[in-house]
């Protein structure tokens, strides 16, 4: 019984403390605006004078004294500026994109002095050979050349010591003995059984051209 009584007493004390804290005015009590407080304490506004400070009678207070009472200041907290935040914000890497690494520079091929000298010598040799080949081409192009033999060799007839070679240029048929000249350009150097050797007038150093029987040709015109 003593234990239950003690518990009831402790419970009652806790209830009284909770009620006192709940019913006592605190910082959460609403503060009336100064104008409303002044109107409430001004007799001309039809308000009833409120209780004055402790030790001061209500009759001794002047009209409008309630308006001079200290009022708790309420600060207006403005939200932070979004424009300033946007200007000072620095975006970072997009986590939804893959990172593209920079390209790797090609390796630097460092050659020795001997290798560089060999490359220069090879380049100079190639340039010299190309120049010589071009000069030879120009020289050969400037050398006069005999005209092409385009007549057709039809064959030969007659005795062995007086044989005649027959040629056709498409317009005229020529019967020429060995050593004879055709059209002032070609010389019948030798008449064989199945071919003839044709030389060129004005080009004694040019080797004769062998034309077989039925070979050669002529330009049609």
In a domain, 7, yes or no: no
Contact 210, 195 (CB under 8 A): yes
Number of domains in the chain: 2
CATH code (residue 171): 2.30.30
Instruction: Report the predicted TM-score, pTM, of the whole model to 2 decimal places.
Output: 0.38
The CB density around residue 177, as the number of other CB atoms within 10 Å, is: 13
Q: What angle do CA 17, 18, 22 make, to 5 degrees?
A: 120
Q: In this structure, is residue 128 part of a structural domain?
A: yes
Q: Where are the beta strands (DSSP E) in the chain?
A: 152-157, 164-168, 173-177, 181-182, 186-191, 195-200, 209-212
Domain that holds residue 133: 114-143
Query: How many Å apart are CA 48 and CA 121, to the nearest integer?
Result: 119
In a domain, 97, yes or no: no
Structural contact between residues 163 and 177, judged by C-beta atoms closer than 8 angstroms: yes
Asked if residue 159 belongs to a domain, the reply is yes
Lowest mean pLDDT among 14-18, 63-67, 138-142, 161-165: 63-67
Last residue of a domain, which of 122, 143, 164?
143
Q: Are residues 170 and 203 in the same domain?
A: yes
Q: By C-alpha distance, which of 120, 207, 17, 214 is closest to 9?
A: 17
Q: How much of the chain, in percent, has pLDDT values that exceed 90?
A: 29
Q: Per-residue pLDDT tens for 107-130?
A: 777 888 888 899 999 999 999 999
Among the listed ranges 53-62, 75-84, 93-102, 125-134, which one has the minimum average pLDDT value? 53-62
21-25, 33-37, 143-147, 208-212: which has the minimum mean pLDDT? 33-37
151: which residues sit within 8 A by CB, 6+ positions away?
A: 167, 168, 169, 174, 182, 186, 216, 217, 218
Whether residues 206 and 173 fall in one domain: yes
Q: What is the pLDDT of residue 105?
A: 82
Interatomic CA distance for residues 168 and 216, integer angstroms: 10
Across all residues in the chain, what is the average pLDDT? 76
Q: Are 69 and 75 in contact (CB under 8 A)?
A: no
Predicted pLDDT at 197: 94
Which range, of 1-10, 18-27, 183-192, averages the lowest pLDDT? 18-27
Q: What is the structure's pLDDT at 11?
A: 85
Tell me, yes or no, whether 138 lies in a domain: yes
Mark whether 171 and 192 lie in a shared domain: yes
What whole-number percentage of the chain has pLDDT above 70? 63
In a domain, 171, yes or no: yes
178 lies in a domain? yes
Asked if residue 130 is part of any domain, the answer here is: yes
Query: Whole-angstrom Cα distance, residue 153 to residue 168?
Result: 7
Give the whole-angstrom CA distance, residue 44 versus residue 39: 8
Q: What is the spatial distance between Cα 209 and Cα 163, in angstroms, rounded to a whole number?
A: 19
User: In which element (H, E) is residue 128 found?
Assistant: helix 113-142
């Amino acid at each position: 019984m003593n234990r239950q009584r003690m518990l009831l007493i402790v419970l009652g004390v806790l209830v009284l403390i909770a009620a006192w804290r709940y019913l006592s005015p605190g910082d959460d009590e609403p503060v009336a605006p100064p104008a409303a407080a002044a109107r409430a304490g001004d007799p001309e506004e039809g308000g009833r004078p409120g209780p004055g400070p402790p030790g001061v009678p209500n009759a001794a207070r002047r009209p409008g004294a309630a308006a001079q009472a200290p009022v708790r200041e309420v600060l207006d907290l403005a939200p932070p500026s979004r424009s300033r935040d946007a200007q000072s914000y620095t975006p970072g890497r997009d986590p939804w994109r893959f990172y593209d690494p920079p390209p790797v520079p090609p390796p630097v091929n460092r050659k020795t002095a001997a290798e560089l000298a060999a490359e220069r010598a090879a380049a100079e040799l190639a340039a010299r050979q190309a120049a010589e080949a071009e000069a030879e081409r120009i020289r050969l192009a400037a050398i006069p050349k005999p005209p092409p033999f385009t007549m057709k060799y039809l064959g030969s007839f007659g005795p062995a010591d007086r044989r005649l070679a027959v040629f056709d240029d498409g317009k005229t048929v020529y019967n020429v003995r060995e050593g004879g000249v055709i059209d002032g350009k070609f010389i019948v150097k030798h008449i064989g059984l199945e071919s003839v050797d044709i030389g060129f007038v004005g080009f004694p150093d040019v080797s004769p051209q062998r034309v077989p029987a039925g070979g050669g040709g002529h330009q049609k015109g």
